[in-house]
Structure 1
Amino acid sequence: MSSKAFLFDLNGTIIDDMGFHTIAWHKILTEDLGANLTQDEVKLQMYGKNSELLERVFGAGHFSDEEMERYSFEKERRYQEAYRPYLKLIDGLDLFLEKAHLKNVKMAIGSAAIPFNIDFVLDNLKIRRYFPVVVSADDVVLSKPDPETFVKAADLLGINPLDCIVFEDNPKGVEAALRGGMKAVVITTMHEPWEFKHLPNILAFVDNYTDPFLDTLL
């Protein structure tokens, strides 16, 4: 099985950092904004744009655009401060990216993260050279589970979406791939396989990028 392009989500897929996002969001939502949510309840809301998360929790119109932008940036600042000492690629990804690059597989980032967080990862881990295309939260109108993020990444690479494989950690991201006509590989950093049982486009579940199955994609 070969593919002409790999499209990677970022958080939980390239780096195993979703626990740090959960803690940062939980503190913002409960301590700063007064929501009565457990960390598990916060985890269920962690998909799409930051502004969408705030609207899911508090309702549309509760915050101004300026307030949502301020809380969003503060959450990311806290996340980066806490996670920076642990920043590293998921095991095996460095070798997998290099193999794909040598095989001339085109690659892109398709993430609901803001550029501030994407730059934090790509530049500090020195992997930007693998990703000529980056689609962030700022580049789309509709975020995952809408397929816009991945379809736009495929278009910018000049590849038919049907010839792309998406790497994701979240059911909403896999749903976005499905709606875009793409197969997906799930990295089980945050969610268990049973949480994806309604999604028929999954090629495999892997703990990390050392899984032998991934060689079949190259």
Structure 2
Amino acid sequence: MVWCRKEKKGVIFDLDGVLVDSSEFHFKAWQIWAARHNTTMSYEFFRETFGMVNDNIIPHLLRRELTKEELKALSDEKEAIFREVARGKIKPLEGAVELVMGLKKAGFELAIGSSTPKKNIEVVLESIGLAEVFHVRVGAEDVSRGKPDPEVFLKAAELIGVRPERCVVIEDAVAGIKAAKNAGMKAIAVTTTHPRERLAEADIIVERIADVTVDMIEELLNQR
């Protein structure tokens, strides 16, 4: 008898807006950081810039040009504040943990592919009880090009040992969906931060992570 080995399959999760909503903790961290540096961060400016890299936000807040070294130090300071205010307080979005555990039980290889610093990823996963599930985590330090470049997802796929065409990415951002498609992967968009029409490039669009099922992902991978 000849046994056919089933090909591995993977799911790569973005973090914020997919597994958690950490926006309130980032806003609080920015406010603390801004007060230390004699400036302010309005909620309107925060919403407008949420998801942008710190290197683009900080010069606007301080109203001056900064060296690369200054930017790194100031950005690291803000992220350290975020970890301090968020540790143990972030909650998973409804249905997120159930989906992750269901995928693990069904034999999927799992990874995080995020623009977030890895220390932040660690704090978030520990806070929602999924640190032991996601052994593969690709963060900001691991890539030289951000989304919509596919580097983050291709690296995650390589680390879990799954071909890109056998991976599904779950994202909430326009750039993230583009990155998934640029990587040759299937993409599921969650409308937690952007309206449905802006995420039209995704293969499937849902309102909540709780709407995503293991069967839905299996069927998506079986499509040609």
Larger-Rg structure: 2
CA RMSD, aligned part only?
A: 2.9
Structure 1 residue 139 displacement after superposition: 0.4
Q: CA separation in 2, counterparts of 1:83 and 1:128? A: 15
Q: How many residues align?
A: 210
Task: Choose the corresponding residue for 1:182, options 182, 185, 197.
Answer: 185
1:216 is the counterpart of 2:221: no
Match of 2:13 among 2, 8, 11: 8
Task: Choose which of 91, 101, 105 in structure 2 pairs with 1:102.
Answer: 105
CA distance in 2, matches of 1:126, 1:85: 10
Identify which of structures 1 and 2 has the higher relative contact order when contacts are C-alpha pairs closer than 8 Å and 6+ apart: 1
CA distance in 2 between partners of 1:184 and 1:26 (Å): 34
Q: Structure 1 stretch 75-84 or stretch 166-175: which is displaced more?
A: 75-84
Is the CA contact (8 Å cut-off) linking 1:163 and 1:182 kept in structure 2?
yes
Give the percent of matched residue pairs that are identical in Structure 1 and Structure 2. 30
How far apart, in 1, do the equivalents of 2:137 and 2:99 lie? 19
Q: CA deviation at 1:102?
A: 0.9
Question: Which residue is 1:201 aligned to?
Answer: 202
Give the CA deviation at 1:176: 1.1
- Identify the residue that residue 5 of structure 2 maps to in structure 1: none
Q: Matches of 1:214 and 1:106 in 2, distance apart?
A: 13
Aligned-pair distance for 1:42? 3.8
Q: How does 1:58-137 map to 2 (within 5 A)?
A: 62-84=65-87, 86-137=89-140
Q: Given residue 26 of structure 2, which amino acid in structure 1 is its aligned partner?
A: H
Give TM-score, length-normalised by structure 2: 0.79
TM-score, structure 1 length as denominator? Answer: 0.81
| 1:88 Cα deviation after fit | 1.3
Corresponding position: 1:47 with 2:51: yes
Deviations 1:38-94 (A, max 9, x none): 544443433364335547x58xx9322322222212222333344346411111121
How far the C-alpha of 1:23 sits from its partner, in A, is: 5.0
Cα separation, 2, equivalents of 1:23 and 1:192 = 25
Question: Structure 1: 5+ residue runs without aligned partners?
Answer: none
Quote how far apart the aligned CAs of 1:204 are.
1.9
Q: CA deviation at 1:129?
A: 2.3
Alpha-carbon deviation of 1:187? 2.3
